[in-house]
Chain A
C-alpha cells in the first residue's frame, strides 16, 4: 500500500474516533451512579438511576411531548409543501419565478439560525399587530417556523430524487390519456416514495433538534425539549441528560439499521426480479 494510502486511512480512523468518542462517552456515563459525572462510581454502577430521574422529571416529559407534537406536524406539512416545490423544480422546466423559488428553497439551509429566528419572531409580532393572529407565541408559532426551514431540506431531497430518473414513465401515462394529477398519484408519487419518507424523517429530526429558532418564537409559556436541555447544560454537566442522549441515540441507531436492512432487501428483490425477467425473455 502506498504511503498516501496509509496516511489517509489513519486520518479516517482517527476522524471516526473523534466523531464517536463523545457519543459513546455519554452512553457509558449514563449508567454511572455517581452525581459527579466524570467520576466512575465502580461500586454502584452500572445503574439505571438517571433514567429514573429523567422519567420522573415533569418538565422534561412535558417538553418532550410538545417537541413530538410540533415535529410530527412540522414534518408532515413541510413534506407536503417540499414535495410540491421539488416536483415543480425538477419537472416543470423553465417557468416564471423559478429562480426566485430556487433561491427561497436553498437560502434557509445555509441561513444562520439566529437570523431565521429573529426574522420569524418579528414577522409574528407584526402579524399580531396587523391582524391579531397568531395569538401569543407557543406551539403554533414554533410549528410554523419549523415548517419553513424543514421544507427547504425536503425540497432538495425530492428534487434530487426526481432528477435521478427520467420522465418516460410519466410521459407514457400522459400519452395514454391520464390527467396530470392522476399521473402524479399513480406514477410519480410511488416512484419517489422512499424520498418522501426520507424527507419526512429528515424534517422530523430537524424540528425535534431545533433550539435556536424555537427559542426566538416560543414565548414564555412553552419550552421544547432542546430548550429544556439547553437550560440544564448551560449550568454544567447534568447526568440525566446523558440518559436522555442515550435513549435518543438508540432510537436513531435502530431506525437506521431497520432502514438499511429494508433497503438491502428491496435491492435484492429488485435484482432477483430483473434476473427473472431476463430469464423469461430468453
Chain B
C-alpha cells in the first residue's frame, strides 16, 4: 500500500508547481511567439488570428512582416546594437570594480566577512526603483556630484551628467554590482592560499602569482558574475528610462513603447522573441557554469 501512496504524493509535490509554471510561464511564451507571426489590425485584441476557417478548411494567416519591419528599420537595429554595447560595457565595469571588492572580502577576517557581505546584499533588499531614482538627485545640474566638483575647483560650470551614457552606466553598474560580487566571492573564498604561498616560495612576484594562479582559478566566478549582469542589463527598462539618453533608447524600452504607445502587439512580440534569441546563448552558458560550480563542490 505504501508505494502507490508515496508515488501519488510525489507526483503532486512536483506536479503542482510544474503545472503553475507551465500555465504562467511556458504557455505565455508560446502566445508571444504566435502573436509575433500574426498580422496587426485595428481591433480588440489588435492582431489577426493565425488560422482562419473557410468552409471547414484551415487557411493559414502567418506573417513575417513584424520581423521584416524590425530588420529593415535602422532605428531598431541601432537600438539592438546599442543595448548589447551598453550591457557589455556595464559588465566590464562591474567586473573591474567587483573583482577587487570580492577579493578583499574573501581575504578579510571571519567576523568582517559576514558583516561586509551583509553590506553588499543589503541594498538589494531596498527598492531598486528608489535607488535608481536617488541618482537623479545626485547627478542633476545642481546635484551633489556637480556641487562637489565645483567646490573642488575641478570644473567651473555644472556639467550635464543626467541622460547621458555616463549616467546610464552609473545606474546599471550601481544596480547590478552585487550580482557580480557574490558569485566572485563564492569562488575566491574557496581558493587554497597554499598555492599562492608555493608560488611565492618559487620566487613568483605577487602580480605574477595573481595572474598565473588566482585569476585562472576564478574564471568560473568571473563567468557567472558577468552573465548575471549582462543578461538582465540587455533588457533593462527602468534605468535607461530614468537615467539614459533620450535620443537613443534601449531594446527593453523599444518593446514597451511598441506595445503601449504604438499598440502594435505583433511587433512588440517580435522584439521579445529577438531579445530572447540574443539571450539564449548567455542563459545556457550561465546554467552550464552554475552546474559545474555545484558539481565541483560535491
Contact between A23 and B133 (Cβ–Cβ < 8 Å)? no
- Chain A residue with the shortest CB-CB distance to B19: A81
Contact between A2 and B100 (Cβ–Cβ < 8 Å)? no
Contact between B18 and A104 (Cβ–Cβ < 8 Å)? yes
Q: A129 and B45 in contact (CB under 8 A), knowing A237-B136, A252-B122?
A: yes
Q: Which residues of A contact B122 (CB under 8 A)?
A: 252-253, 256
Binds B, one of A4-12, A45-53, A55-63: A4-12
Q: A212 and B107 in contact (CB under 8 A), knowing A107-B283, A248-B130?
A: no
Contact between B45 and A125 (Cβ–Cβ < 8 Å)? yes
Q: Does B222 contact A (CB under 8 A)?
A: no
**Alpha-carbon distance between A108 and B279 when the two chains are bound, in angstroms:** 13
Contact between B130 and A229 (Cβ–Cβ < 8 Å)? yes
Mark B224-242 against chain A: 1 for CB-CB distance below 8 A, else 0. Answer: 0000100110111110011
* Interface size range on A against B: 35 or more
Within 95-150 of A, Cβ neighbours of B (below 8 Å) are at: 95, 97-98, 100-101, 104-108, 110, 112-115, 118-120, 122-123, 125-126, 129, 144-145, 147-148
Q: Which residues of A contact B286 (CB under 8 A)?
A: 110
Q: Which residues of A contact B2 (CB under 8 A)?
A: 179
Q: Which residues of A contact B25 (CB under 8 A)?
A: 104, 107-108, 148
Q: Which residues of B contact A42 (CB under 8 A)?
A: none
Contact between B101 and A101 (Cβ–Cβ < 8 Å)? no
- Chain B residue with the shortest CB-CB distance to A244: B130
Q: Which residues of B contact A106 (CB under 8 A)?
A: 287
Contact between A7 and B20 (Cβ–Cβ < 8 Å)? no
Contact between B118 and A234 (Cβ–Cβ < 8 Å)? no
Minimum distance in angstroms from B154 CB to a CB of chain A: 17
Q: Which residues of A contact B252 (CB under 8 A)?
A: 112-114
Contact between A8 and B103 (Cβ–Cβ < 8 Å)? yes
Q: Which residues of A contact B241 (CB under 8 A)?
A: 234
Contact between B206 and A112 (Cβ–Cβ < 8 Å)? no
Q: Which residues of B contact A212 (CB under 8 A)?
A: 237-238
Q: Which residues of B contact A151 (CB under 8 A)?
A: 17, 20-21
Contact between B236 and A112 (Cβ–Cβ < 8 Å)? yes
Contact between B144 and A38 (Cβ–Cβ < 8 Å)? yes
**Alpha-carbon distance between A128 and B77 when the two chains are bound, in angstroms:** 34
Q: Does B147 contact A (CB under 8 A)?
A: yes
Q: Which residues of A contact B207 (CB under 8 A)?
A: 4
Minimum distance in angstroms from A3 CB to a CB of chain B: 7
21 A-B pairs in the complex with CB atoms less than 8 angstroms apart: A8-B100, A15-B98, A16-B101, A37-B137, A38-B137, A38-B143, A84-B16, A101-B14, A107-B283, A112-B231, A112-B252, A113-B237, A119-B29, A155-B17, A208-B127, A209-B128, A211-B129, A212-B238, A248-B127, A252-B126, A256-B125
B interface, CB within 8 angstroms of A: 2, 5-6, 9-10, 13-14, 16-18, 20-29, 31-32, 35, 45, 97-98, 100-101, 103-105, 107, 116, 118-120, 122-123, 125-131, 133-138, 140, 142-144, 147, 174, 177, 206-207, 210, 228, 231-232, 234-238, 241-242, 252, 255-256, 259, 265, 268-269, 272, 275-276, 279, 283, 286-287
A interface, CB within 8 angstroms of B: 2-5, 7-12, 14-16, 18-23, 25-26, 29, 36-39, 81-82, 84-85, 87-88, 92, 95, 97-98, 100-101, 104-108, 110, 112-115, 118-120, 122-123, 125-126, 129, 144-145, 147-148, 151, 155, 179-181, 205, 208-209, 211-212, 215-216, 226, 229-230, 233-234, 236-237, 241-242, 244-245, 248-249, 252-253, 256, 260
Q: What are the nearest 7 A-B pairs in CB distance?
A: A112-B235, A119-B28, A11-B100, A22-B134, A85-B17, A88-B14, A12-B104
